[in-house]
Structure 1
């Protein structure tokens, strides 16, 4: 069932296009992410979906009901849609219990279960100005969940959190989907936020949709360098080196390029493969990065052991696609 339908939405501010016309939909229980660099239009699009920003054209529907923008509604926002921003925006100096009680539409037992899910049941007597950033974000999320939303919009929810609080909030958001059955749409510029979580990712650049697909498709088959760079380290291979690597089904145009991840390169001491010379070997914790000078390009490959030394000749090939 389609929960969210975005139809030809666009937003222009003067001569600047913030969001170009785009359309997509999201099914119930489908985890969808919007990715892109800062200024790509991700957060603005999320606010349009929430009914907090008025689009220049197009429409948003939640379960068939049109979302009205702030120019059309007395109270901004759409029933059944909750929007969690980067900042918690909690009332200052109130006790957490007060903030949540005012927002609750659930029976006491359900509310208590939500507090436990959000790991805030021990914070109820504290004032909001006594909470850490991670605690404030979890309280803000609990306040939204008390309203029983069908769609939860998450706008860079981890951006201001340290590693511990980020992992805690990630676990909570997973449970929001599995235990509460709330559909989530997440915005992030960080690949580690979206690759392990999303069922599908939409990549935006300057307000335009440039690629849509599963995390695996966007990681291993990026449409261009912009998409490749968003999701991690990559090698750009041109010219004769690209032809020598023998990419199945690849273009034979002389200016064609190959975008390949470091872990997709296979090294061997005796071939087969494209010969190159090791320039450097770097220890990066769980793996080593081997920098190799090919005839026309420099590439980096990731290996599990420091088998190769600078100056050694190695042969580079491509790992066969999974499956």
Structure 2
């Protein structure tokens, strides 16, 4: 039995679709990440699932029970579903322990386990106006978890966090899934937040579900340039440029554009199945270098390397190390 079934959800605002015919099912204990440009409908979708926004058409079933919208119930929301907005608030001038006790539906031992998972034991006696942004977010998350949800919806939980608190929250969210066995859906604009975490990615555009699949599949086989760009830098060689890349193994001209991530190219020694080119630019990103190379046909490709022993203007040879070739 699916935990969640979303069927034909649509919603309009000022005559424009915010959501358009969204349908999917979600089994228990899955981790779903949603990516899309601002205004693509991601947050509205989570709110509809949580019962906090009323769809115009369609329905949401949670554990085979219809999720009612805010126009149908006195207090919006649905039992078993917890939604954390990116604009969450905690009551001011209360001790953290007090805030957490109000919504708690767990035993003392179960609650203490939640506090440990959220890394907030040392904050329980602190006042809410003394918390940093990252600390407050973990408190808000712990408060939701004390209601014993079976589905957790996180709307851009990593926004406005420094790298230290962001990495800590990532560990917390990972442990929630592993230790508490809670199904989770998460929105993020940063591919580094979702590619290593999710079991499945949803790509949204203009209120529609454009693509869904395993992270590696969506990353290396996007349906179009929009989906590709959401997950990081890419190369797109148009059909008229492909004939100059025929030396690379597996590359053919078929009327479509070649799609390749920078790490699918490499710099290699001169050989028959490599392209001669000239380095145009080098960008250091911390753990790797992106090297822009102009190859035959005045085609530009970006090559990603862990180390870099070339400089701008050098002649280099570009090889192909991708396992599969993808065209869009």
Identify whether the pair has TM-score above 0.5, normalized to the shorter chain. Answer: yes
CA 1:118–1:304: 2 relative to 1, 3 Å: closer
CA distance in 2 between counterparts of 1:174 and 1:215 reads 16
Contact 1:105 / 1:147 at 8 angstroms: preserved in 2?
A: yes
Write the distance in 2 (CA, Å) between the matches of 1:247 and 1:59. 49
Give the C-alpha shift of residue 247 in structure 1.
7.2
Structure 2 equivalent of residue 291 of structure 1 = 292
Distance 2:262 2:160 in 1: 29
In 2, the alpha carbon distance for the partners of 1:189 and 1:282 equals 22
Q: Which residue of the partner structure matches residue 28 of structure 1?
A: 28
1:45–1:251: structure 2 CA closer, same or farther, 3 Å change rule?
A: farther
Aligned to 1:278: 279
Q: In structure 1, what is the Cα distance between the partners aligned to 2:210 and 2:232?
A: 17
In the other structure, the counterpart of 2:135 is: 135
- Alpha-carbon displacement from aligned partner over 1:289-309 (angstroms, at most 9, x marks no partner): 221112232111012332334
> Does the 8 Å CA contact 2:2/2:28 hold for their aligned counterparts?
yes
Distance 1:250 1:181, change over 3 A: farther
Query: Is the Cα contact below 8 Å between 2:265 and 2:322 reproduced in 1?
Result: no
Say if 1:280 and 1:207 are closer, same or farther in 2 by CA, change over 3 A. same
Indicate the larger mover: 285-294 or 190-199: 285-294
State how many pairs are aligned: 320
Displacement of 1:276: 1.8
Pair 30,250 (structure 1): closer, same or farther in 2 beyond 3 Å: farther
- Unaligned ranges ≥5, structure 1: none
8 Å Cα contact 2:21/2:208 also seen in 1:
yes
Rounded to whole Å, the distance in 1 between the matches of 2:283 and 2:118 is: 40
Alignment match, 1:202: 202
User: Does the C-alpha gap of structure 1 residues 183 and 159 become closer, same or farther in structure 2, counting only changes over 3 Å?
Assistant: same
- Structure 1 runs, 4 residues or longer, greater than 4 Å off: 245-251
Moved more, 279-288 or 264-273: 279-288
2:288 and 2:89 mapped to 1: Cα distance?
A: 41
Q: 1:34-91: CA deviations, max 9, x gaps?
A: 1101111100000000000000100001111100000111110000000011133111
Matches within 5 A, 1:1-323: 1-243=1-243, 244-245=245-246, 248=250, 252-253=254-255, 256-271=256-271, 272-294=273-295, 295-321=297-323
Alpha-carbon distance in 2 for matches of 1:248, 1:97: 61
TM-score by length of 2: 0.93
Judged with a 3 Å threshold, the aligned counterparts in structure 2 of structure 1 residues 23 and 248 are, in CA distance, closer, same or farther, namely farther
Say whether the 8 Å CA contact 1:81–1:151 is kept in structure 2.
Answer: yes
User: Over aligned residue pairs, what C-alpha RMSD do you find?
Assistant: 1.7
8 Å contact from structure 1 (residues 31, 199) kept in 2:
yes
